Structure 1
Amino acid sequence: MSPEALSSIISQTAHDLAAAGEAGQLAEDMIPQKIVVMRPKDRSHGDWATNVAMQLGKKAGMAPRDLAQLFAARLEKADGIARVEVAGPGFINITLDSASAAQVVDQVLAEGADYGRNTHLSGRTLNLEFVSANPTGPIHIGGTRWAAVGDSMARVLEANGAKVVREYYFNDHGTQIDRFAKSLVAAAHGEETPEDGYKGAYIDEIAQRVIDEGKADGVDVLALPRVTGEDGAEGDSEQREEFRRRAVPMMFAEIQKSMKDFRVDFDVWFHENSLYEGGAVDKAIELLRGKGDIYEKDGATWFASTKYGDDKDRVIIKSNGEYAYFAADIAYYYDKRHRDVDPADVAIYMLGADHHGYIGRMMAMCAAFGDEPGVNMQILIGQLVNVIKDGKPVRMSKRAGNVVTIDDLVEAIGVDASRYSLARTSYDQSVDIDLDLLASHSNDNPVYYVQYAHARSKNVDRNAAEAGVTREGADLSLLDTEADGEVLAQIALYPSMVAQAGDERQPHRVAHYLEELAGRYHKWYAAERVVPMPLTDAERQGDAEAVAALEAAKNPEPARAAARLRLNDAVQRIIENGLDLLGVSAPEHM
């Protein structure tokens, strides 16, 4: 029996008590829509527990413990429940019979890849924007974390029935692109990097590629005019424009390849420049002007964001006529909500730690368009990543200078370990990536620990096949040992974990769940036999009763061995499902 099924039984019991007038002043409309059941920390207290009587006691005008006794009297008669006990001020502890507890195995195997998936977000389109690094260099470690977390979050939301649009926003308009072009021109001429420019071997590589591509097209890029104006000052010269025109698509292609190699496939690659070229920025500003939220002051154009809770109004067009960055943000949000294809019910932004001060103006803009901040717009702020090797921070990249890139990380520990380690910690906490640990084959390495549980389950399958152990005649009620119960209970929690991970935007819950399941499975593997194993001569030297017990433990009856093999299959399936939500492979051998 799953916790969801048990919750429904408890809910029906509450309604029955209210309808019968047996629970004081309790009325049916006082009963919460969902009754929470939880796993007791002390397994001697039962399989599941609920505090429903403590929630409803005051409303019913009864002592919670007295109300709990009424629940217990009815629940212990329900099919699948072996025992109900009332503890403390009114906790209800429930123990399932072994057959009921094991029903989840049949459910897992029947639903397969769909086990744990639900439809409670169906009919909603969630636009999830993540990574969105400037096309001025390789993806650094912070962007790599967003790639792992963002794609895992998208998978979890899809498992909850949502339509998810994965979107990458290219900042290909503005000063950062100017600085990129200036850096390339300097590198092409063997000059020092401009003070505000970009450094790293990749700048020299891109500069040379631009030169070579130009030659292939019959263009001598370095021969183009480098200066403009009679005074010889450098401006938007033909040479810089040529470097910009050719280099940005090159960097764009590199980023796309890095994402694909990292198993992240975006549905939309959105270019900031298109907002200006298509007039979307001006259109969005005029929409807000029509609502009375735009005004002119000191030669600049302002958004009256304080009307919607921001700490100060924001400039969107500077006094020199240039657009502020925020102007494009306004147009971009409006586009997400009103585009012709897949308009977003919810626009989720995943931003770096340095964007925390941006939340106020973004939410104000959301409200100005008539949307609900925190509902139609949700902003998630990530924290920093520290890469450690030999106990010391890793700062240098072979290609990108004083940063660690996505390619550096993948080269060091692979895609699986990179994705898993970056997604297993809540995005709003900083994380240390220990390269030595994540490259090791030890139980201290969390991704290895989980993947090894899957490989071990596959090995059990192979050994069972060789020994002639089949799944025929399986009696799941024989899954009655403590180790069986621990695994069964964890399996039953998977669907509720998936729902919670989606609702709370916390894909790291998947990793924590898998590690707990792997731990219980490894203990189960050590305690329970599936494939018969003969006793050694030393084991046969004990007293007859001890030898008989050991014989039974190492040579389970066929129905019990078949049941354990099906339990092994269920664990295997859930690990596959869970790792898939994280974009991590489930190896058959390790």
Structure 2
Amino acid sequence: MSLYEEIKEKVIANLTNAAKTAQNAGDLTFENLPNFVLEEPREKQHGDLATNLAMVLTKQARKSPREIAGILLKHFQTEGTWIQSHEIAGPGFINFKLDPTWLTGVIPQILNQGEDYGKVNLGQGQKVQVEFVSANPTGLLHMGNARGAALGDSLASLLTAAGYEVSREFYINDAGNQIHNFALSLEARYLQQLGQDVPFPEGGYHGEDLIDTVKGLIAKVGDKYLNIEVELRREFLVRYALEEKLINIRQTLADMGVHYDVWFSEQSLHDSGAVKKAMEDMEKQGYIYEKEGALWLKSTLFGDEKDEVVVRSNGTPTYFAADIAYHRNKFERGFDRVINIWGADHHGHVARMKGAMSALGYNPDNLQIILMQLVRLIQDGEVVRMSKRSGQYITLRELMEEVGKDAARFFFIMRDPDSTVEFDLDLAKAESSDNPVYYVQYAYARLCSILRQAEESGYSYSGIPTKEELALLNSTEEQELLKKMADLPGEIATAARLMEPHRLARYVLDLAALFHSFYNSQRVLVDEEDLRKVRLALVCSTKQVLANVLAILGVTAPERM
């Protein structure tokens, strides 16, 4: 827990004690102390912390909020809270101003904890699985996959920093109708490259990469598979292409800084009988019925407008059936929470999947699904049109080659997943303060530059400054910077609780802005030794905090730019 969080907890405890003391003294009447908040006021002039306790007590106490606030302050103990002063404001808020010397404890905490600073134990070791990207291995990764990769990987890192035991997983869709269409597409391209005039299948995959795949195959084996049984030819083509596509997917994601703990095959669920077993168990529970030769799930029980087919009349399980078995498998592996990141077009699938888990005996609340909105690519002020089916789309590899891994990740993490992202290619490449990732990385490089200059000048900045030295950090810029760094553990806890890594992108932008403000107003390498030493400690601390947050976001912290 950070020093700031400790202070807040102490103030909350003392407010609670003040209310109960007032109750025992007969000054206030209430049955149960209602929930109240203690937070930072929006306006700095209102103090460091504010509470609405007096206002939420009004109904029970039958007094005005300002009168209640006065009673609470009469019984409030400030000892051990760092509170310097307090006042009643507006309709009945209680504002607190902290003794600024509390900030002297922030630097020692950061320097002592190093890479661990900011980490919290919110999860207490709970096992969490985050499944993300899981793109069909029938083509190259695209912009939508890029957003899922950045979001999923940073969320997994955030939850790890918050004390969860996290596993990253990629679900390989290597079975079902898409693989059948993949086989037909590959076969058509193979035969066309060997000079045969064959039509391209309806619903096939038009990506140019499939032509490259069969050209590579022909370079190795020629027309070896031209005159063999059709099914054998398709089976080989799919096996060869899947291996190639998965290698490409793995490498592309690795180059983006994304590494998975598990690559899970959909086909393995069919081979093991898990899909069949899940359907049988749900049928026994009365959730599946037969109609027109097919098996249907009573998904209307879970909020669907109509029931869903899980096994077709020809005996082939649908993708939904495999997905049910897959999610059951996740819980069978002992995960306390399962988190999926899906495209917004899967919104209709959420309720039925949660319902299916409930039907199989699992708590549906332990399955959490984050839906991502679309990505629009902007270049020269115009939207770049993309269509995966037609082969006209920007691949993740092309995006990284254009703007780099760091910009690709940061631009996608910056926004709430429920918001459409407009990815501005020109801005992502700009070396200016308008480019958010450049702005943050430049702050880190500038911090490193200051420390290099200090070393070259023979200035020592090792060790923890004394309280007297730390008290010299009394400018507004220094105080704001210290306060922001003190916020980090609380920010990580909140972001993890809400599953919102974009909060950390905002945090690191704010921290960079505060550092740039400090840099522009205060010299670090001053002649006065004590002041120089403590400002160098501030620089070291800021550098550490920036590095810690950028590591969670998967963005490089460059020492030179």
Same fold per superposition (TM over 0.5): yes
Aligned to 1:160: 162
Q: Deviations over 1:124-183 (max 9, x none)?
A: 111111101001001111011100000000000111111111111111111211221222
Of stretches 53-62 and 268-277 in structure 1, the one that deviates more from structure 2 is: 53-62
Q: Does 1:311 align with 2:308?
A: no
Give 1:80 deviation, angstroms.
Answer: 2.6
C-alpha distance in 2 between matches for 1:426 and 1:39: 23
Q: Deviations over 1:426-446 (max 9, x none)?
A: 111110111111111101100
Give 1:201 deviation, angstroms.
Answer: 2.4
What does 1:123-162 align with in structure 2 at a 5 Å threshold?
Answer: 123-162=125-164
Aligned to 1:206: 213
TM-score by length of 1: 0.88
Of stretches 436-445 and 201-210 in structure 1, the one that deviates more from structure 2 is: 201-210
Are residues 415 and 484 of structure 1, via their aligned partners in 2, closer, same or farther at CA, if it must alter by over 3 Å? same
Q: Deviations over 1:437-480 (max 9, x none)?
A: 11111011000111111111111212233344434655112221
Q: Deviations over 1:515-573 (max 9, x none)?
A: 111111111111111112xxxxxxxxxxxxxxxxxxxxxx5x33222222222222111
Greater RCO structure (CA 8 Å; 6+ sep): 2
Identity %: 40
Alignment match of 1:365 (pick from 356, 361, 369):
356
C-alpha distance in 2 between matches for 1:589 and 1:274: 47
**What SS is found at the alignment partner of 1:101?**
helix
Given that residues 54 and 93 in structure 2 are in contact (C-alpha distance below 8 angstroms), is that contact kept between their aligned partners in structure 1? yes
Q: Does 1:424 align with 2:410?
A: no
Of stretches 79-88 and 60-69 in structure 1, the one that deviates more from structure 2 is: 60-69
Are residues 212 and 24 of structure 1, via their aligned partners in 2, closer, same or farther at CA, if it must alter by over 3 Å? farther
C-alpha distance in 2 between matches for 1:96 and 1:494: 18
Give 1:31 deviation, angstroms.
Answer: 6.0
Aligned to 1:48: 49
Q: Deviations over 1:239-293 (max 9, x none)?
A: 2222112211111111111111111111111111111111001111111122222
Give 1:575 deviation, angstroms.
Answer: 0.6
Are residues 587 and 172 of structure 1, via their aligned partners in 2, closer, same or farther at CA, if it must alter by over 3 Å? same
What does 1:180-579 align with in structure 2 at a 5 Å threshold?
Answer: 180-190=182-192, 191=198, 193-214=200-221, 220-226=224-230, 237-339=231-333, 343-373=334-364, 375-395=365-385, 401-471=391-461, 474=466, 475-532=469-526, 557-579=528-550
Given that residues 481 and 515 in structure 2 are in contact (C-alpha distance below 8 angstroms), is that contact kept between their aligned partners in structure 1? yes
Q: Deviations over 1:393-422 (max 9, x none)?
A: 234699993111110110001111111111
Aligned to 1:85: 87
- For this pair of structures, how many residues does the alignment match? 548
**What SS is found at the alignment partner of 2:560?**
coil
Of stretches 196-205 and 89-98 in structure 1, the one that deviates more from structure 2 is: 89-98
Of stretches 345-354 and 311-320 in structure 1, the one that deviates more from structure 2 is: 311-320
C-alpha distance in 2 between matches for 1:65 and 1:107: 38
Give the AA of the match of 1:371.
Answer: Y
Structure 2: 5+ residue stretches without partners: 193-197
Aligned to 1:543: none
Q: Does 1:586 align with 2:557?
A: yes
Give the AA of the match of 2:225.
Answer: V
C-alpha distance in 2 between matches for 1:399 and 1:302: 30
**What SS is found at the alignment partner of 1:529?**
coil
TM-score by length of 2: 0.92
Are residues 278 and 135 of structure 1, via their aligned partners in 2, closer, same or farther at CA, if it must alter by over 3 Å? same
Of stretches 276-285 and 38-47 in structure 1, the one that deviates more from structure 2 is: 38-47
Are residues 36 and 568 of structure 1, via their aligned partners in 2, closer, same or farther at CA, if it must alter by over 3 Å? farther
C-alpha distance in 2 between matches for 1:71 and 1:520: 36
Given that residues 205 and 389 in structure 2 are in contact (C-alpha distance below 8 angstroms), is that contact kept between their aligned partners in structure 1? no
Given that residues 128 and 154 in structure 1 are in contact (C-alpha distance below 8 angstroms), is that contact kept between their aligned partners in structure 2? yes
Give the AA of the match of 1:337.
Answer: F
What does 1:103-142 align with in structure 2 at a 5 Å threshold?
Answer: 103-142=105-144
Given that residues 58 and 68 in structure 2 are in contact (C-alpha distance below 8 angstroms), is that contact kept between their aligned partners in structure 1? yes
Are residues 254 and 587 of structure 1, via their aligned partners in 2, closer, same or farther at CA, if it must alter by over 3 Å? same
Are residues 510 and 58 of structure 1, via their aligned partners in 2, closer, same or farther at CA, if it must alter by over 3 Å? same
Give the AA of the match of 2:277.
Answer: K
C-alpha distance in 2 between matches for 1:129 and 1:470: 47
Give 1:60 deviation, angstroms.
Answer: 4.4
Give 1:29 deviation, angstroms.
Answer: 5.9
Give 1:59 deviation, angstroms.
Answer: 4.1
Aligned to 1:232: none
**What SS is found at the alignment partner of 1:222?**
coil
C-alpha distance in 2 between matches for 1:23 and 1:90: 20
C-alpha distance in 2 between matches for 1:208 and 1:499: 51
Are residues 9 and 59 of structure 1, via their aligned partners in 2, closer, same or farther at CA, if it must alter by over 3 Å? farther
Give the AA of the match of 1:148.
Answer: A
Given that residues 127 and 164 in structure 1 are in contact (C-alpha distance below 8 angstroms), is that contact kept between their aligned partners in structure 2? yes
**What SS is found at the alignment partner of 1:30?**
coil
Are residues 436 and 398 of structure 1, via their aligned partners in 2, closer, same or farther at CA, if it must alter by over 3 Å? farther
Give the AA of the match of 2:454.
Answer: A
Are residues 293 and 512 of structure 1, via their aligned partners in 2, closer, same or farther at CA, if it must alter by over 3 Å? same
C-alpha distance in 2 between matches for 1:482 and 1:56: 36
C-alpha distance in 2 between matches for 1:468 and 1:304: 75
